[in-house]
Amino acid sequence: MARKKSPVRKALGAGKRAAVGARQPISLPRRAKGRRPQFYEDPAVDQLFAIVTALTGEISVLFDRVDTLERLLTASRVLPAQAIEAYVPDEAAAAQRGQRRDELLRRVFAVLELYAATGPAQIGSKAAPAS
């Protein structure tokens, strides 16, 4: 009796073997399809709500990552907890943080850029850029 190929092996091809638990990257569209939902009468309120929601998602991820790093560093005795509070970034680190901050602001305020580009009448008919 012939053995069936698993979907992972089939996707990788006959001659290639997949590592157990290996995942293939998923490519998602850069823009959402359809109209942006409008919940409030004033589109500005919807825009502010979108900004707050985007910021909340960003902050949640950051809190989890910082917490993970601090716990791992403290548990492995790489750094004492006080070292994080006492750190002062050098010029290169400060420049990199500035670039990252600019990218964050671009993503968070993307809805306002779309509003400025399309005008208030068109905001519901175009999707905002995905982050």
Per-residue pLDDT of the chain (131 residues), as tens digits, is 555 555 545 555 545 555 566 678 888 777 777 777 788 888 888 888 888 998 899 899 999 999 999 999 999 999 898 888 899 999 999 999 999 999 988 887 887 888 788 876 555 544 444 44
For residue 120, give the nearest of 31, 38, 33 by alpha carbon: 38
The rounded distance, in Å, linking the Cα atoms of 93 and 87 is 11
Domain residue ranges in the chain: 42-122
Q: How long, in residues, is the chain?
A: 131
| For helices 43-75 and 110-118, angle between their N-to-C axes, nearest 10 degrees | 160
Q: Is the dihedral of CA 90, 95, 99, 102 positive or negative?
A: positive
pTM for the structure as a whole: 0.45
